């Protein structure tokens, strides 16, 4: 069965919640977004972390390497799948604003694999492909 409009909206909302967790709420908020056996991949930094607890610990351990005052903006969503698994591709921009000036700007693409759980859609594989 193809994805419904409701599925696609829930998946897009999940990605908004991912950005909010990264920018504001902190790594522990990721527990509501990923399945327990998830993968977190950033190939340009040779990052491939398996398991939700390991993902959260990796983010906590590396949070000093992320610039402060980041805002993630996502666009150009393409979501395909069936009623149990979905693939999402979208553009992600990370912008650092410091004292009214843009200090840091990165653009990349998220290529996500999601699964539908009893609690709703969750990330199975989060993959960031950096462009700049």
Number of structural domains (the chain) is 1
Quote the pLDDT of residue 36: 98
- Residue 20 sits in a domain whose CATH number is 3.10.450.50
Is the Cβ–Cβ distance between 93 and 7 less than 8 Å?
no
- What's the mean pLDDT in 82-102? 91
Look at the pTM and tell me if it is higher than 0.85.
Answer: yes
Confidence tier at 61 by pLDDT (50, 70, 90): very high
Quote the pLDDT of residue 102: 81
Residue 132 has pLDDT above 70, yes or no: no
Residue 57's contacts (CB-CB under 8 Å, 6 or more residues apart) are none
Domain range for 76? 5-130
SS3 107: strand
């Amino acid at each position: 069965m193809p994805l419904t409009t409701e599925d696609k909206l829930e998946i897009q909302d999940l990605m908004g919640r991912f950005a909010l967790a990264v920018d504001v709420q902190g790594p522990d908020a990721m527990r509501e977004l990923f399945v327990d056996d998830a993968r977190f991949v950033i190939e340009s930094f040779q990052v491939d972390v398996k398991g939700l607890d390991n993902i959260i610990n990796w983010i906590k351990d590396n949070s000093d390497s992320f610039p402060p005052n980041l805002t993630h903006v996502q666009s150009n969503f393409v979501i395909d799948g069936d009623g149990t698994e979905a693939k999402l591709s979208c553009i992600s921009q990370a912008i650092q604003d410091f004292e009214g000036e843009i200090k840091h700007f990165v653009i990349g693409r998220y290529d996500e694999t999601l699964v539908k759980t009893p609690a709703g859609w969750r990330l199975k594989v989060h993959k960031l492909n950096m462009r700049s």
